[in-house]
Structures are given as structure tokens and as C-alpha cells.
A and B are shown apart, each in its own frame.
Chain A
Amino acid sequence: MSPTTTADPTPTDQTNVADRDKARRWREGGSEPLLRVRDLRVTFQRQGQEPFEAVQGVSFDVHPGQTVGLVGESGCGKSVTSLAIMGLLPQRGNKVTGTVDYEGTNLLDLSDQQMRDKRGKDIAMVFQDPLSSLNPVVPIGLQVTEVLERHRGMSRKAATPVARELLDRVGIPDPDRRLKDYPHQLSGGMRQRALIAIALACQPRLLIADEPTTALDVTIQAQILALLKELVEESGTALVMITHDLGVVAGLCDEVNVLYGGRIVERGDRHDLFAQPRHPYTHGLLASIPRLDAPRGQRLTPIPGSVSDNLPWTSACAFAPRCSQPIEVCTQKMPELEEHHQRALRCFNPVEATR
């Protein structure tokens, strides 16, 4: 659990108001969305096995400079969504449909070569485990400069000072020495900083961070999140933050999408979502976080069961077997994602608004 979750996730009123203004601007067409994902579906198909739809029609927008969270348990399809956007799913054994519209081009229609030109330059990604995500036999410096050589046409010699600069900007001390170091010589936090430096090397307009802090120590997690936030705000990069950790969402995201079983079950501005979770799943997630201001002796309320209890979405609400307040219709047909008041909700029997 990250330190931010133990603190009160509700920010102060002033920032609250400012953020809401920002959110409204995005939604009311102040800008065209940078990334528009519509009805994204990913089906894994292995020979002799039943096909398995990991992402079942996910739609969301990311505006320039906006930070959007995709939240859910492992197996809910959030990582698959990000890999599908990046075109990084294995070439065989899966089918991706829908549209991933990036500045007017559908990324799913691009050829392998065109996608290679976009990746690392326009859209970059930061991964979960910084040790395994860095090539162990290539010095850090080269792993940074190779992106610059590829997308900015720089020579190795010209790229080196830029790489040094980048490492310095992400807070790696003594960057000259670190350029020659190999990943195993860096600490976990330093490695993640290096990965962030690599991702931001070509100043992409969109950054996807897939659980960037999960593999790190608690104290380092906060530093990395702060760094990401700072860099993103400085450069106006849009960020898609994929996480299972609501603490990360609370500290960073403008808008939050909660995924369950491959579909979005609830979407909203982070303040609204935290203050008034409507979907029982979101509610359950929030209730299962230990809070410092909770009265002594109050029990934690975990969500019972696991994802293996899921019902198929096609005929019911997948979450029904684990839900705290299911009604009859929940197991009979699928609830639709309905939008109202800048929120979206997929539930027959939402949690009552408390305020």
C-alpha cells in the first residue's frame, strides 16, 4: 500500500475546485482528445482452447495534458488495454478490434513499420518491473541514446549529452557515471527513473505508465509518483496511469476509469469518484483501504471472493457473485454503461449517494 493511501485521499477545497474546472474544460470540448479509444476488444485465441476476451469493448478519451487512470484488480484487462494501444501484443494468437484514434489516425490500422515510427516518439511507455524491463547487458547510457538515435536522427556522440541531461532531469545523481553503468548496478528507484528518462527522451505527447510503482519500495513509490507528476505537468504530456492502487489514482489522476472483467464499470472525476463511489465494486475497493482517521476497532471490509467467481458479461453483471447488494436482475442481463452528470456507471443497483 502506498503512503498516499494511508493519508486522506480527499484533497483540499481549492485544488478541488481548480481541478474540476480543468476537467470541465476537457469535457466541454476545450480541446480535441489526443487519444480516443472506442469499443476496444482484445480476444486471445490459442489453438484448441476457447477464445478468451480480455478486453470487452473499452472506450475512453485522453485529452492533451490530462492524466487518466485505469484502475482494477489483476486480470481486469487494464494492462492488455495498454499493450493494445501500443501495438505490443504478441503478433499471433490475438485479435484486436475497435479503434484507437491518436490525433486522427487509427493506430490499429497502421503497419508494423508505421507503428515503430510512432512508438517511443509520440507514445511512450513505462513498465512495472524496472529491473526486468531494462536490458541487463547494455549500459544505461546506450539504452537512452538509442531512442534519440532512432527518432531524432542524432549520432551516438550528439545523443550522449542529451542522455546525460535526461538522467539528470529524472533525478539520477552523478549521471556521467551512470551512463556507463549496467542496470544491475542501479537501485530499484534509480532504474525506474532511468526507464522514465528513456520514455520521455523524445518528448512524447502521450505516456502510458503500467503499474510504474508496484515493484518498488513504499518510500520510493512516492518519489517516483511525484517525479512523474512533475514531468508530466512540466511538459504537458498526457498520461494514462494503469494501476490497482487507489492511492496512486488519488494523488495523480484527473479522471478515473474503473475496470472489472474487461469492461469499464465506473468513470468519473477523481474527486467525485472518491467522495461518492456509486458502483459497489469501486465502493468496495475504497472501503478495503485502511484509513488513519477510521475509529479504532473498526474492521476492514474486503471484497469477498476473487475474479474466478465472475459471471460472463454477456448474460449478467460479472461482479454480481461478489457484490454486496445484488438484486435479481444482476444475474439475468448485462447492465449498460450509462453516462450522466459527467459520470458513467454500469450498475443496476448503485450505492446510494451519501451526500
Chain B
Amino acid sequence: MNPSPMDPRPSAKKDRIDSLAETSGRGGTATAVKDVHVGAAGKVKDTGGVSLIASAWARLRRNPVFLLGLAITVVFVLLALFAPLLAPNDPTKRMPELLEDLSRSTNPVPGPEAGFPLGSDDFGRDLLSRLIVGARQTLIVGVFATLFGLAGGIILGTLAGAFGGWVDSLVMRIVDVMLSVPSLLLAVSIAALAPRPSQWTVIIAIAVVQVPIFARLLRGSMLAQRASDHVLAARALGVKQSSIVFRHMLPNSLGPVIVQSTLVLATSIIDAAALSFLGLGNPDDRQPEWGQMLGASQQWIRDYPHLAFYPAACIIVVALGFTLMGESLREALDPKSRR
């Protein structure tokens, strides 16, 4: 039942994960070859110390796509860190100035006025402040969902990749089943298990979806590592199995994992919004989060589309930032694309 390496085509999802995993196995060699080639140019230049990361960075520095992604990400993280300082008002307080204009029947969502450039939400709270503070909560959801997914993936993937055999078979069967359920459906199913939805049920639901992806990724690159020369050499020298796994295989498998994490940061933010939209998000809006704001705005979408537009724009820009960064990282680390 175990798919052999000769399997003509695993699924595209798996395939994509596996091809990313392979990049870790080949990265080192490609650098070496490249260095020799530079040497052949007759240039007197010290190329001995060029690591995979350094050469990837040299390529990324000139990549406009990467730089755009990086800039967006940096702005977003800074915004999240300093949100309380930047927000002009308390995002949870119903502002008297806004409440004055708010009327359930005639003006449920007051527009912009002095001191409130984006106007109010449907409770008389300052929309701008909620958006700014929302950056922090959005980052928290993204980061924790990624970390939990990564942790689960590392445990499963390391087990499978390090031991092989039946452990590998068992773990990979479970992973395959998880991959066979469309990711949003899986997240929704997990979220539905919680008796009372909260921020953490959202995070866990999104994280669980990432576990099989990370697991397969790590296993793939560890298998590539296991067959690689430096691990064989370590084994021949009698290095303990545990040190081989933790000192040699795991660190060298991290490149693709970092790439995937960057991409997952983007999808978790989008998925959080989708969960909110389907009524499975965090109902507690004292700590605003963009996905939650977007999900909650749907009841006003006909008459007050700006309530959806602002958080959606934030999500799109930030998700794009992470995705651009992740995709260009992937390309930079892929030895096949360097020429």
C-alpha cells in the first residue's frame, strides 16, 4: 500500500509538496557545482564560503517580487507590534461621538466624521482603530496556526522520515486521508467540533489542516537527506541515529519548511476569514481580527460595503505579501531554477 518512489504520479497536492521537499536534498550540491563554475571563469574570488542561504539571498536581493513581499510583511509586522500606540482610539469602546449619529433604523453604520476618518462600525466603535489593532490579532492567528501546524507536522514527519518502515506507512496513511478532505472542509469540520467557538478553536482548526502538508514535506526532504552522501558518511562514521536525525537531517530539511510556513501564514489569515464567513469564527469581537471583521460585515454588504472592503483589502495585501515572499523564496532555494 505504501506508494513506491517509482509511483508515476502521486496527487498534485502531494506532488507539489514532494517537489518542494526535494529542494533540500539537492541544494548543497548545486551550490558546489556553481562555485566550481565561477572558478572556471578565471575570476580570483573566494567562493568557498558561499552557503546555500547566502547564494539564495544574493538572488533574492535583486528580485522585485521578493522585495515587494518583504516590504509588505515588514510594514504589517511593525503595525501589529505597535498597534495600540498607533490606534487613535480604543477599538473596543463605543465612541460617544459616533453613537450620537448611530441609529438602528436610519443610520446603523455612521460614515466618516472629524476624528474618525473611516467612520464607525455597526456598534459605534472607531473602524480605523479596529483595523489597526486588528493587525495584531491577525498576526497572532496566522503565526500560531502556522506554529501549531508546523509542530504537528514536525512530529509526524520526523517519525515517518527518521524511522521509515511501518511507522512511515502508518503515519503516511493518516496524512493521505487528511489530504483527501478538501482543506477548508477539514478546517470547518474541526471548528465544528468546538462546543463554543473562540479564537483558539479557529487557530487549531486552521493548524490541523497544515499538519499533513508539513508532515509530508518533512518526510520527503528527510528521505532525500537519508539517501544523501553526508548522512551516509555520518552513518559510516558510526554517528548515533538520534544525532543524525537532529543534527544532520532535520536542519537540512528546514529550507522547504520555511518556504511552506511563509505560504501558510497567508492561507491561515484567509482561512480564518472563511471560517468567520461560515459562522464558525471567533464570535468575541472585543479583540478585532480582520477575518472576523470581514465575516461579520456580510450582513451589511449591500448597503455598507466599505465595512467589508477595508478588512478585505488588509487581508489581501498582507496575504499577498507573505505569498510573494514565500514563492520567491521557493524559487531561490530551488536548484532547478538557478541558472
Q: Do chains A and B touch in the complex (CB under 8 A)?
A: yes
A residues in contact (CB < 8 Å) with B: 47-48, 50, 52-54, 74-75, 261-262, 306-308, 310-313, 318
Please indicate which of the listed interface residues B36, B41, B44, B58 has the most CB atoms of chain A within 10 Å of its own CB: B41
Query: From A90, which residue of chain B is reached at the shortest CB distance?
Result: B339
Of A48, A308, A313, the contact of B39 (CB 8 Å cutoff): A308
Query: From B45, which residue of chain A is reached at the shortest CB distance?
Result: A50
Q: Is the CB of B62 within 8 A of A307?
A: no
Name the 3 nearest CB pairs between A and B, nearest first.
Answer: A308-B39, A75-B40, A52-B41
Q: Is the CB of A261 within 8 A of B62?
A: no
Q: Which residues of A contact B38 (CB under 8 A)?
A: 52
Q: Is the CB of A310 within 8 A of B42?
A: yes
A-B residue pair count with CB separations less than 8 angstroms:
34
- Bound complex: CA A225 to CA B325 (Å): 51
Name B21-64 residues within 8 Å CB distance of A: 36-44, 58, 62
- Bound complex: CA A262 to CA B38 (Å): 14
Q: Which residues of B contact A50 (CB under 8 A)?
A: 43
Known: A52-B38, A307-B40, A310-B40. 10 other contacts (CB 8 A): A47-B62, A50-B43, A52-B43, A53-B41, A75-B36, A75-B37, A261-B40, A306-B36, A306-B39, A308-B36
Query: Chain B 53-93 against A: per-residue CB contact (8 Å), 1 yes, 0 no?
Result: 00000100010000000000000000000000000000000
Please indicate which of the listed interface residues B42, B43, B62 has the most CB atoms of chain A within 10 Å of its own CB: B42
CB distance from A308 to the nearest CB of B (A): 3
Chain B binding site: helix, strand, loop or mixed by DSSP? Answer: helix
Q: Which residues of A contact B43 (CB under 8 A)?
A: 50, 52, 312
Q: Which residues of B contact A53 (CB under 8 A)?
A: 41
- Bound complex: CA A312 to CA B42 (Å): 5
Q: Which residues of A contact B39 (CB under 8 A)?
A: 306-308, 310
- Bound complex: CA A52 to CA B62 (Å): 19
Query: From B47, which residue of chain A is reached at the shortest CB distance?
Result: A308
CB distance from A191 to the nearest CB of B (A): 21
Q: Which residues of B contact A54 (CB under 8 A)?
A: 41
Q: Is the CB of A48 within 8 A of B62?
A: yes
Please indicate which of the listed interface residues A47, A53, A308, A310 has the most CB atoms of chain B within 10 Å of its own CB: A308
Query: From A47, which residue of chain B is reached at the shortest CB distance?
Result: B62
Q: Is the CB of B42 within 8 A of A313?
A: yes
Q: Which residues of B contact A311 (CB under 8 A)?
A: 42, 44
- Bound complex: CA A54 to CA B40 (Å): 9
Q: Which residues of B contact A306 (CB under 8 A)?
A: 36, 39
CB distance from B78 to the nearest CB of A (A): 28
CB distance from A332 to the nearest CB of B (A): 16
Query: From A308, which residue of chain B is reached at the shortest CB distance?
Result: B39
Supply 9 A–B pairs (Cβ within 8 Å), ascending by A: A52-B41, A53-B41, A75-B36, A75-B37, A261-B40, A306-B36, A307-B36, A310-B39, A312-B42
CB distance from B336 to the nearest CB of A (A): 14
- Bound complex: CA A50 to CA B42 (Å): 12
Query: From B39, which residue of chain A is reached at the shortest CB distance?
Result: A308
CB distance from B184 to the nearest CB of A (A): 35
Query: From A310, which residue of chain B is reached at the shortest CB distance?
Result: B42
Name B290-312 residues within 8 Å CB distance of A: none
- Bound complex: CA A65 to CA B39 (Å): 37
Q: Which residues of B contact A312 (CB under 8 A)?
A: 42-44
Please indicate which of the listed interface residues B39, B40, B62 has the most CB atoms of chain A within 10 Å of its own CB: B40
CB distance from B35 to the nearest CB of A (A): 8
CB distance from A161 to the nearest CB of B (A): 35
Q: Is the CB of A318 within 8 A of B42?
A: yes
Q: Which residues of A contact B44 (CB under 8 A)?
A: 311-312
Q: Which residues of B contact A47 (CB under 8 A)?
A: 62
CB distance from A54 to the nearest CB of B (A): 8
Query: From A44, which residue of chain B is reached at the shortest CB distance?
Result: B41
- Bound complex: CA A50 to CA B40 (Å): 13
